[in-house]
């Protein structure tokens, strides 16, 4: 696990050098707060959601792009690293990005509540929870679909093969989560149960993808 965490840190550095997710969140959050103070109002949160998701989704594949351009996979093969640790590190990075997205949405919600507490209604809170649940779920599903492909073929060999499933997984998960939870009060016990089921299913798919990614990367010729 220690080596896997090191790999995750390397992925974070690669993502930071090319597309700092912190700056991305900061810029979009500032724009969302500015829009919040205009007649757009609380809808600014849902407008910014698309921009946040798009930028964060691209961050998921940045380490693989860097590895393809710098030949890092061949370098990893020369180091005393198990391939399993390399794969685990990539998936830890994907999970960290997904959690960061969810936390950022909640931070944005907190700022809006501080600026205008009157927007807090049961309906609004249910919408916010739906978006906060949907954002990491979509990112985890994107990673679950694209990471095995990236680990098997590499980004340089099949970028289109990766991007199309990436878009499909994101749109599909967003649609299923939003429609499946539509009309459910997520603050109620029924809503908590529904949200828990969604979280368990997404995490299970992510774990299965991790196991598949390990097998595919073991078989890959570097």
The rounded percent of the chain whose pLDDT value lies above 70 is: 77
Domain that holds residue 159: 2-219
Q: What is the pLDDT of residue 60?
A: 84
Mean pLDDT per block of 10 residues along the chain (222 residues) reads 80 69 76 78 69 77 79 71 86 91 82 79 73 81 88 73 62 56 61 79 94 88 66
Number of structural domains in the chain: 1
Q: What is the pLDDT of residue 17?
A: 64
Q: What is the pLDDT of residue 27?
A: 81
Q: What is the pLDDT of residue 43?
A: 67
Give the pTM.
0.82
Q: What is the pLDDT of residue 91?
A: 94
- Torsion sign over Cα 144, 95, 90, 12: positive
Radius of gyration of the chain from Cα atoms?
A: 19
């Amino acid at each position: 696990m220690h080596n896997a965490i090191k790999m995750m840190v390397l992925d974070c550095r690669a993502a930071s050098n090319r597309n700092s997710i912190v700056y991305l969140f900061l810029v979009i959050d500032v724009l969302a707060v500015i829009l919040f103070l205009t007649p757009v109002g609380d809808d600014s949160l849902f407008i910014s959601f698309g921009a946040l998701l798009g930028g964060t989704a691209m961050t998921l594949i940045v380490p693989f792009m860097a590895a393809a351009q710098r030949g890092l996979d061949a370098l990893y093969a020369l180091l005393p690293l198990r391939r399993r640790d390399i794969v685990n590190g990539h998936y830890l990075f994907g999970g960290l990005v997904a959690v960061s997205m969810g936390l950022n949405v909640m931070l944005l919600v907190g700022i809006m509540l501080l600026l205008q507490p009157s927007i807090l209604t049961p309906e609004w809170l249910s919408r916010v929870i739906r978006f906060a649940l949907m954002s990491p779920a979509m990112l985890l599903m994107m990673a679950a679909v694209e990471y095995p492909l990236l680990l098997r073929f590499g980004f340089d060999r099949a970028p289109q093969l990766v991007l199309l499933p990436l878009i499909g997984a994101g749109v599909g998960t967003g649609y299923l989560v939003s429609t499946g939870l539509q009309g459910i009060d997520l603050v109620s016990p029924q809503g908590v149960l529904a949200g828990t089921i969604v979280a368990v299913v997404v995490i299970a798919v992510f774990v299965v993808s991790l196991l598949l990614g390990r097998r595919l990367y073991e078989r890959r010729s570097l």
